[in-house]
Chain A
Amino acid sequence: MIRVSQLTKRYGAVLAVDNISFDIEKGGIVGFLGPNGAGKTSTIRILTCYHPATSGSVHIAGLDVFKDSVEVRRRIGYLPESTPLYPEMRVREYLQFRGKLRGLTHDERVSAIKRASDRCWLGEFINRPIGQLSKGMKQRVGLADAIMHSPEVLILDEPTVGLDPTQIRETRNLIEELGREHTVLLSSHILHEVEQVCTRTIIIANGKIVASGSPKELREKFSAQGKIVAELRGPIDDVGKSIRALKGVTGVESSSDQGWVKVTVEMQPESDVREDIFKLASAKGWSLREIRRDGATLEDFFIKVTAQQRLKSA
């Protein structure tokens, strides 16, 4: 559905997007993650035909965003980060205006506005001037605008920024629902949100893609290089020394608390020393009250890969 090939974007001397390529299949929700200034918005603006690329190509639904720009724009729904709207217009007028620009007939507009306003909970606000709405309500108007023409591709840039917790949950549910009908590219800083709703995640840092896969795959990849935490009752020096001697262990940190020794064990990638620690404790006669893999989150993975990319660039 979306094919990005060797895409580069420069703003003068600043390289915002550095030769990135990725494909997104039809259907599902793809998270587009990255720290501020990573190149997310630049990439999205090229995908939505707002800015041209310096080099490379982007195809949406088989159409080139540069050569078939107007047709591509007909097939996408876009919610920009700041949700810019015309404050003097009423919500219904605005949606009418946007529907007309997209070439919807009168009847199509009436049903599209009804459908979109129902889905985005705009019913009671539909005749209000946009300037009188709260930030959350404006975000809903922007979302209704993005989905009203049932686009094949939906691009949402930080759709839950500025919303209260209830609105965030409602919007997240809506995005999940939309993911069943549309291909959704969701740019977000909220990693928890991406972890919850996205079927795939692309992480970008310093204009380059640094990781791609499902949130579960990325977590597992990070966990594979993760840590083991164990709590044993035994002499602290002996515990640390014995565990450090196990195969695959690269580092041990230990601390004592009311007779229990808490050890954090770093391992080589793909190693798992939990069974060895259990056998060791059994052999030494130490009590073992906890042993677990330190649960990695997408946030851990995100921080690690973006930090690595920053170091590389430096």
Chain B
Amino acid sequence: MQNIVTMARRELGAFFLSPIAYAVNAIFLFTIGLAFALGTFKSGAEASLRDMLDFWMLLILVFVLPMLCMRLMSEEFRSGTIETLMTAPVTEAEVIFGKFFGALGFYFVLLATVLLFPIILASFGPIDLKLLLCHYIGMVLVGSLYIAVSLFFSTLTKHQVVAVLFSFSLLALMTFASHALATQLEGWPRVVLQQISIRTHYHDFVRGMLDMNHCVFFITTTGFFLFLSVKLLEVRRWQ
């Protein structure tokens, strides 16, 4: 456990020292701010974050989180630091979980900046704090899954661009393509696609519904990709 905390703190520190992380952070704030300004903060619009969170947040995170996480393991392989890391008394699982929690910590910083929008809305009327909490739970769960997927692809290759492209592709498929396709189909294919669609599971959090089924989906899928990352790291060392 101590090693996971140590790894996570190092990763979090590395994010704050990375110019790429700051650039990605700026892009995130600009685009999410634009989505808020054009979608919510206009005359006659509902004083809610629903529109921004339901589509724009997911779209931006599909791009932003893989870009933030692409270096997590790829950089270790490229620079050779994986050798010093894995010859220290740490296990593969501690490395992967440490990296995951470090990235999650930086994601929390991103989410904290999003609090600006409910604060702006509060000046126009009362804020439903329970709804806001539900939104945040949804964003944390979806972000965890995106980070786990990005970490998996970062463990797969030492080329960061390849890791980003694979992560974009899978996350876009799981988030948007499956959701769009599900609406076109009937019967069991529709059910299957709805079950694997991140957007479908996330949608209820935006509506303010805290459904344990959705929580279980996000937690197990995140756990699955972290497990795959641990196994992949073991395999890469064994080759």
A76 with B2: CB separation less than 8 A: no
Q: Cβ of A86 and Cβ of B81 under 8 Å apart?
A: yes
Known contacts: A84-B79, A88-B18, A101-B6. The answer to whether A145 contacts B87 by CB under 8 A is no
CB of B83 within 8 A of CB of A50, answer: yes
B86 near A98 (CB under 8 angstroms)?
no
Q: Are A73 and B18 in contact (CB under 8 A)?
A: no
Residue from the list A51, A84, A88 in contact with B84, Cβ < 8 A: A84
Tell me whether B59 is interfacial, beta carbon within 8 Å: no
Residues of chain A within 8 A (CB-CB) of B14 are 86, 88-89
B80 / chain A contacts, CB cutoff of 8 Å: 80, 82, 84
CB distance from A89 to the nearest CB of B (A): 7
* B side interface size, CB within 8 A: 24
Within 8 Å by CB of B86, from A50, A76, A88, A102, lies A50
Contact B79 A101 (CB under 8 A): no
Report the minimal beta-carbon distance from A255 to chain B, rounded to whole angstroms: 52
Q: Given A50-B237, A100-B6, A103-B2: A84 and B81 within 8 A (CB)? A: yes
B-chain residues with CB within 8 Å of residue A85 when the two chains form the complex? 81, 84
Q: Is the interface of B mostly helix, strand, loop or mixed?
A: helix
Is the beta-carbon distance between B89 and A74 smaller than 8 angstroms?
A: yes
Pick from A50, A89, A97: contact of B87, CB under 8 Å: A50
Asked if B238 and A89 sit within 8 Å, CB to CB, the answer is: no
In the complex, A78 has a CB within 8 A of chain B? yes
The interface residues of chain B lying within 8 Å CB-to-CB of A88 are: 13-14, 17-18
**Across-interface contacts of B237 in A (CB, < 8 A):** 50-52
When C-beta atoms are compared, the residue in chain B nearest to A12 turns out to be B239
Task: Give the distance to chain B from A178, nearest Cβ to Cβ, in Å.
Answer: 18
Q: Which residue of A lies closest to B83 (CB)?
A: A80
Complex contact B87–A48 (CB within 8 A): yes
Task: Tell me, rounded to whole Å, the shortest Cβ–Cβ distance linking B97 to chain A.
Answer: 14
Q: Which of B200-224 contact A (CB under 8 A)?
A: none
Q: CB-CB < 8 A to B239: which residues of A? A: 11
Q: Which residues of A contact B82 (CB under 8 A)?
A: 84
Q: Which residues of A contact B2 (CB under 8 A)?
A: 100, 103
Which B residues are CB-close (under 8 A) to A80? 80, 83-84, 87
* A50-B237, A97-B6 known; A102 vs B88 contact (CB < 8 Å): yes
Contact status A70-B91, CB under 8 Å = yes
Within 8 A of A (CB), among B1-33: 2-3, 6-7, 10, 13-14, 17-18
Kindly report which residue of chain A lies nearest to residue B14, judged by CB atoms.
Answer: A88
Q: Does A137 contact B (CB under 8 A)?
A: no
B238 to chain A: which residues have CB within 8 Å? 51-52
Residues of chain B having any CB pair with chain A under 8 Å: 2-3, 6-7, 10, 13-14, 17-18, 79-84, 86-91, 237-239
14 residue pairs bridging A and B, Cβ less than 8 Å apart: A11-B239, A48-B87, A49-B87, A50-B237, A73-B87, A74-B89, A78-B87, A80-B83, A84-B81, A84-B83, A88-B18, A100-B3, A101-B7, A145-B84
